[in-house]
Structure 1
Amino acid sequence: MLQKKQPITEQETLLKLSALCARAEHSSGEMLEKMRRWQLPDDARERVLDRLIDEQFVDDERFARLFVREKIRFDHWGRRKIEQALYLKGVDSNISRRVLDEVDDEAYVAELKKLLATKRRSVKAENDYELRQKLTKYALGRGFGYEVIRRCIDGADELLGD
Structure 2
Amino acid sequence: MAPFSNSGTGPTSGTSADDTAEADPHDVARSIVLRQLTASPKSRFQLARKLADRDVPDEVAEAVLDRFEEVQLIDDAEFARMWVRSRAQTKGLAARAIQRELADKGITGDLAEVALSQLTEGDELQAARDLVGRKLKTGIDYADRAVRDKHTRRLVSMLARKGYSPSLAFQVVGEAIDGLAED
Q: TM-score per shorter chain, which class? A: 0.7 to 0.9
2:25–2:60 Cα contact (<8 Å) kept: no
State the one-letter code of the partner of 1:95: L
Shift of 1:7: 6.1
Distance in 1, matches of 2:159 and 2:167, equals 11
- What residue in structure 1 maps to residue 16 of structure 2? none
Distance 2:96 2:7 in 1: 47
Gaps of 5+ in 2: 1-5, 10-19
The alignment partner of 2:170 has SS state of: helix
Q: How does 1:114-153 map to 2 (within 5 A)?
A: 114-121=130-137, 126-153=146-173
Query: Which amino acid is the alignment partner of residue 79 of structure 1?
Result: A
CA offset at residue 133 of structure 1? 2.1
Aligned to 2:108: 92
TM-score, length-scaled by structure 2: 0.74
1:110 and 1:87 map into 2 onto residues whose CA distance is: 25
1-structure distance, mates of 2:106, 2:24: 23
Paired position in structure 2 for 1:40: 56
Distance change in 2, residues 1:159/1:76 (3 Å): farther
TM-score, normalisation: structure 1: 0.82
Higher relative contact order (CA 8 A, sep 6+): 1
- 1:117 and 1:11 map into 2 onto residues whose CA distance is 51
Return the letter of the residue paired with 1:158: G
Select between 109-118 and 7-16 the one with higher mean Cα deviation: 7-16
* CA displacement, residues 72-126 of structure 1 (integer Å, 9 cap, x when unaligned): 111122222211111111112321122112313222211111111112229x883
- 2:179 aligned residue: 158
Q: 1:75 aligns with which of 71, 88, 91?
A: 91
* 1:12 paired to 2:31: no
Partner of 1:104: 120
**d(CA) in 2 for partners of 1:8 and 1:133?**
58
Does the 8 Å contact 1:26/1:63 carry over to 2?
Answer: yes
Match of 2:67 among 51, 68, 71: 51
Write the distance in 2 (CA, Å) between the matches of 1:8 and 1:108: 49
* DSSP-derived class of the 1:127 partner: helix
What CA RMSD, in Å, does the superposition of the two structures yield over aligned residues?
2.8
Unaligned segments of structure 1, at least 5 residues: none
The count of corresponding residues between Structure 1 and Structure 2 is 161
Residue identity opposite 1:11 in structure 2: D
CA contact (8 A) 2:46 2:106 kept: yes
